[in-house]
Amino acid sequence: MEAYGEGLGLLQAGEPLEAAERFAAAAAADPGHPLLVSWQAYALAAGGQREEAIALLQAAPGARLPEDLYNLGAWNARLGREEEALTWLGQAVTADPSLRDRLVGDPDLSNLQARIGGLAAAEEPVRALMNGEEGAILAGESYDLELVVQGGSGRALLLGWEEPLPGGFSLRRAVDEVSGGQGDAGAVRSLSWRVRAAVPGEGTLGPWTLAVGEGRHPLPAVTWQVLLPEGVEPPPVDTGAPLDPAWWTPREALAGLAAPTAAWRHGALAVLFSPGDSVDVTPVPACAAFEIELRRDDQAETLARVWPLPAGGAAPRVRVVRGGKVLSDQRVVRGR
């Protein structure tokens, strides 16, 4: 830590080669820390020793950091090695799409500006991971399932359920949360479902397919074992309407609606409202509603309740009240 701190101080003082020596000492004391080698290489390049910096990063064991990939591209570009530079830069923006913003206007890449337009404008890759409480859960308890998506923030994300929910399972809640701007390539999208297992046994939930534009990304199933506490009878199976396979992600499914609004979406009655509002539906639906939050930066922007009502029947009347004032009172007729 002392050598690392001295290296930073020497860099700020305009003595990069001396800083490289201190970073080398820090790396020798902690050889498993890749960031120390990155600083050493950066200091060498800042001191004009780009060949040595490139050789150092290429010889370093383990996976390279996205910033290292970018620097390898920039240093090769300064040395006139355009093909090598483009290869490294392509790897860098694949590893971290936010690095695209640095390609245009980077003085180290001035000789490549005519060739990096494709890299800068390329569609950022999507990384998706389904997280769940795999293993043993208790029957009747809530089970949280989260799909984390990075990249593709400016495009519609549709989650297709390849198989219906198993018998005895019901979807209770979904959260669609975005950290970062909608157009930010580094934004992380978090789509969450709360599933309740009503009967014991073993099984899987999924698999799914995430469609982003024209691309399709398969997501593996999550497995579980549902346990029933000793001496407890199985709770009754929820006989509400099954999940509509067309009901993908809340943000897209509810797009174009503003609170307070009641409308039919994907064969379900959707009511959007703001935190603190109360919602009354008459006649009261026999099935339970999906509780949905549309969130940004940990703050709930809009709430929604969605009832997958069966076809036919009278048009429901929906009232949204805030602080004793009726904001919306309408009878919702199912469209074609």
Retrieve residue 46's tokens: 């800042």
Model confidence over 183-200: pLDDT tens digits?
554 556 666 666 666 666
Least confident window among 58-62, 108-112, 242-246? 242-246
**CATH homologous superfamily of 126-238:** Immunoglobulins (2.60.40.10)
Question: Averaging pLDDT over each range in 162-171, 210-219, 312-321, which range is the top one?
Answer: 312-321
CB 152 within 8 A of CB 213: yes
Is the model's pLDDT at 205 over the cut of 80?
no
* pLDDT for the residue 170: 62
Q: Which residue has the higher pLDDT, 322 or 161?
A: 322
Quick check: 236 pLDDT over 80? no
- The one-letter code for the residue type at 263 is A
Domain 254-336 has CATH 3.30.1240: no
Give the confidence band of 102 by pLDDT, cuts at 50, 70, 90: confident
So where are the chain's domains? 2-121, 126-238, 254-336
Read off the tokens for 91. Answer: 């790897």
- Per-residue confidence (pLDDT) for residue 333, from 0 to 100: 86
In this prediction, residues 143-150 reach a mean pLDDT of 63
Q: Which of 264, 276, 273 is nearest to 307 (CA)?
A: 264
Q: What is the pLDDT of residue 245?
A: 44
Least confident of 177-191, 202-216, 271-285, 299-313: 177-191
- Per-residue pLDDT, 290: 73
Which of 3.40.50.10540, 1.25.40.10, 1.10.150.20, 3.40.50.1980 is the CATH number of 2-121? Answer: 1.25.40.10
Tens digits of residue pLDDT in 53-64:
999 998 887 768
DSSP state letters, 248-267 = --HHHHTTT--SSEEEEETT
- How much is the pLDDT for 94? 76
Instruction: Please list, in sequence order, all residues whose beta carbon lies within 8 angstroms of the beta carbon of residue 203, skipping any fewer than 6 positions away.
Output: 166, 223, 224, 226
**Cα–Cα distance for residue pair 45/47, rounded to 1 Å:** 5
The beta-strand segments (E) located in the chain are 127-132, 135-138, 142-150, 157-161, 169-179, 188-197, 201-205, 208-212, 215-219, 222-227, 261-265, 268-273, 278-282, 290-296, 299-307, 317-322, 325-331
Which range is most confident: 37-46, 97-106, 299-308? 37-46
Alpha helices in the chain (DSSP H): 2-12, 16-29, 34-46, 50-59, 66-78, 82-95, 117-121, 250-253
CA angle 307, 308, 314 (to 5 degrees): 80
pLDDT score at 246: 46
